[in-house]
Structure 1
């Protein structure tokens, strides 16, 4: 049983060594849940869509009043 544990530790260490030396992007920090980084792009797109909709809706009204 102890040979299995030692073999697993040796294999894991070898795998991490090979991945770090091969230039792999290894991040052992866990999952990242950074929603704030994605929020500005989404809100900019949404505000641009709202602005375009408002301009499109006000264009016929201004043309009819002339």
Structure 2
């Protein structure tokens, strides 16, 4: 049983080392809920618009 634990720790260390060496932009801080959190979501009004209203707006924007 202790061999499995040691193997897991070694594997986890290797994974963290490889990810940090490849510049994978790892953020181990968990969820962000403050001003520093970046959001790329659309506003709720645009996301909740019915498809019938969204289609003419999209075709008008492409012209």
Shorter-normalised TM-score: what interval? 0.5 to 0.7
Per the TM alignment, residue 34 of structure 1 is displaced from its structure 2 partner at its CA by 2.8
Per the TM alignment, residue 33 of structure 1 is displaced from its structure 2 partner at its CA by 1.6
Superposition RMSD in Å: 2.3
Moved more, 15-24 or 27-36: 27-36
2:28 counterpart residue number: 28
Alignment of 1:1-66 (within 5 A): 1-34=1-34
**Higher Cα radius of gyration:** 1
Provide the TM-score with structure 1 as the length reference: 0.50
Q: Deviations over 1:8-64 (max 9, x none)?
A: 0000000000000001011111111236866xxx6xxxxxxxxxxxxxxxxxxxxxx
What SS class does the counterpart of residue 10 from structure 2 fall into? Answer: helix
Provide the TM-score with structure 2 as the length reference: 0.53
Unaligned 5+ residue runs, structure 2?
44-63
Q: Relative to total residues, which structure has the larger helix share, 1 or 2?
A: 1
